[in-house]
Amino acid sequence: MCAAEAAMGGSASVLPREALDEYQRAASCHRAALVLASSRAYKRFSELLPKEERENACSTRVPKSRILTLPELRANPFQHRICHVFSTSDDGDDSMSFEDFLDMLSAFSDSATSDIKSHYAFRIFDFDDDGALDRKDLEKLVNCLTGQGEESRLSSTEMEQLIQNILEESDIDKDGTINISEFQHVVSRSPDFARYSVRS
């Protein structure tokens, strides 16, 4: 008996022919949509390269400076963190391969689940990459959201109060930081999060 049969109570379950046909149609449509999305992403990725390098786009890394020219990132306050999180560069230069680029577009697409969006948002907001949002991360997060200008910067008292409010709302285990499960718990109570996430 296979694992699937065991999971269903020990007897083999057979999909009715109509259901199987419908599933295959849906799967084909999904595959077609993925192929179309991937080809569009590939076109966008290759256009970030000099013309002479476009033929080998699959094996070429695009520098961070070129990734930051994308309209979606140009005005995003988290643009540098986004590049850092999605880059798999061993050199630490935040350059992107096509796979990195596709992961980034997928995570920010309307079809990405709230879990995927919240996972990447947490990593983007975790400025020191230590797996938790502490007071320094939260301060940087607030500064990114409010802008760096004098007129928009919070006073130290306002910042402290805001961080305290965030921790009181989110820090379930009261350890002074927000871990990924606490962050996702807060996000699950915010239906607009998936729509806005860390977009510009």
**Residues 108 and 124 placed together within one structural domain of the fold:** no
**Residues 93 and 125 placed together within one structural domain of the fold:** no
**Residues 64 and 101 placed together within one structural domain of the fold:** yes
Could you give the C-alpha distances from 77 to 20, 28, 30, 124, in angstroms and in order? 46, 38, 33, 11
**Residues 105 and 121 placed together within one structural domain of the fold:** no
**Residues 76 and 145 placed together within one structural domain of the fold:** no
pLDDT digit string (tens) for the chain, length 200 residues: 333 333 333 444 444 556 556 545 555 554 555 556 788 899 999 999 999 999 888 899 999 999 999 999 999 999 999 999 999 999 999 999 999 999 999 999 888 888 999 999 999 999 999 999 999 999 999 999 887 666 778 899 999 999 999 999 999 999 999 999 999 999 988 766 655 555 54
**Residues 95 and 131 placed together within one structural domain of the fold:** no
In a domain, 4, yes or no: no
How many domains does the chain contain in total? 2
CATH code at 55?
1.10.238.10
Among residues 112, 137, 153, the one where a domain terminates is 112
